[in-house]
Structure 1
Amino acid sequence: MSAAHFILYVAEPQRSRDFYAAVLAQAPRLEVPGMTEFVLPASGGCAVLGLMPEAGIRRLLGDALPDPALAQGIPRAELYLLLDEDPTPFIERALAAGARRLSALQPRDWGHRAAYLLDPDGHVLAMAQPLV
């Protein structure tokens, strides 16, 4: 099976692992030094969220990549979870795990009901559901 992997560079891997385990209400499918992975909901196993330590990507690519640690607190990516179910439990778990609310769950003009949060590493996390 093919799968798309979305990898976020994180400052504190254990903190990010615990955050996404709480939000997604699941244990990681992979947890090894340097990488943690979760199957994303509503993807049929075709999309995976990876969490890689900032230092790990620096070791892998060296000076060819700007140091992700220098952008702490500056949003560098958005993870948009389009769910088949009500996003409210995901939002509540994210807030309880330390996310900061950016925008409440509300209808959006692109046909989704979506909320926006900020994860502990400064990545934008959107939880959405089709309006139909």
Structure 2
Amino acid sequence: MICYIDDQARSREFWSALLGTAPILDVPGMTESDLGGVTLGLIPFADMAELVPGLWRGSGQRCEIYLRRPDAAALLDRLVAAGGALLAPLVPRGWGEVVGYGLDPDGHVVAIAQSPPADAEV
């Protein structure tokens, strides 16, 4: 998954603080973080616009990053502390999960779902 961003350093710091880990790759034009089987890539929009003719900056949220974590409440707190914005606290949702929502500094929606502990009975 790749998110187009405005400021690579700002986004790297936000995601490192939110996830509590350092990027697995951090070079000019690309930062990658391991989300546990999925890689989150952060690429400056200006770099992508040069690579992909006709690419245009959209408006509004067009996708979301959905994280299932046993530490969801702490993760929402870290989202805000790292410079993101809280949209909705953790509450039970109609599809059976407890989920809170926030925005990263570039306006990408980050959904954080409370997952049961690994040793919980299902």
Normalised TM-score (structure 2) = 0.89
Corresponding residue for 2:119?
A: none
Matches of 1:18 and 1:39, distance apart in 2: 14
Equivalent in 75, 79, 84 of residue 65 of structure 2: 79
Give the unaligned 5+ runs of structure 2.
117-121
Give secondary structure in 1 for the equivalent of 2:52. helix
Corresponding residue for 1:38?
A: 33
Give secondary structure in 2 for the equivalent of 1:37. strand
Matches of 2:71 and 2:12, distance apart in 1: 23
Matches of 1:86 and 1:98, distance apart in 2: 19
Identity of aligned residues (%): 44
Give the unaligned 5+ runs of structure 1.
1-5
Q: Do the aligned partners of residues 130 and 25 (structure 1) sit closer, same or farther apart at CA in structure 2, a change above 3 Å counting?
A: closer
1:61-72 equivalences under 5 Å are 61-63=52-54, 65=55, 67-68=56-57, 71=59
Contact 1:22 1:93 in 2 (8 A): yes
**What are the Cα deviations for residues 27-69 of structure 1, in whole angstroms up to 9, with x where unaligned?**
00000111100001xx3xx201000000111111122x2x22x
- In the TM superposition, residue 130 of structure 1 has moved relative to its aligned partner by 3.7
Contact 1:107 1:114 in 2 (8 A): yes
Contact 2:100 2:111 in 1 (8 A): yes
Matches of 2:22 and 2:86, distance apart in 1: 24
Matches of 2:2 and 2:98, distance apart in 1: 25
- Give the alignment's Cα RMSD to 1 decimal: 1.4
- In the TM superposition, residue 10 of structure 1 has moved relative to its aligned partner by 0.1
Matches of 1:118 and 1:55, distance apart in 2: 21
Matches of 2:7 and 2:40, distance apart in 1: 16
**Which aligned runs of 4 or more in structure 1 are off by greater than 6 angstroms?**
none
Normalised TM-score (structure 1) = 0.82
Corresponding residue for 1:59?
A: 50
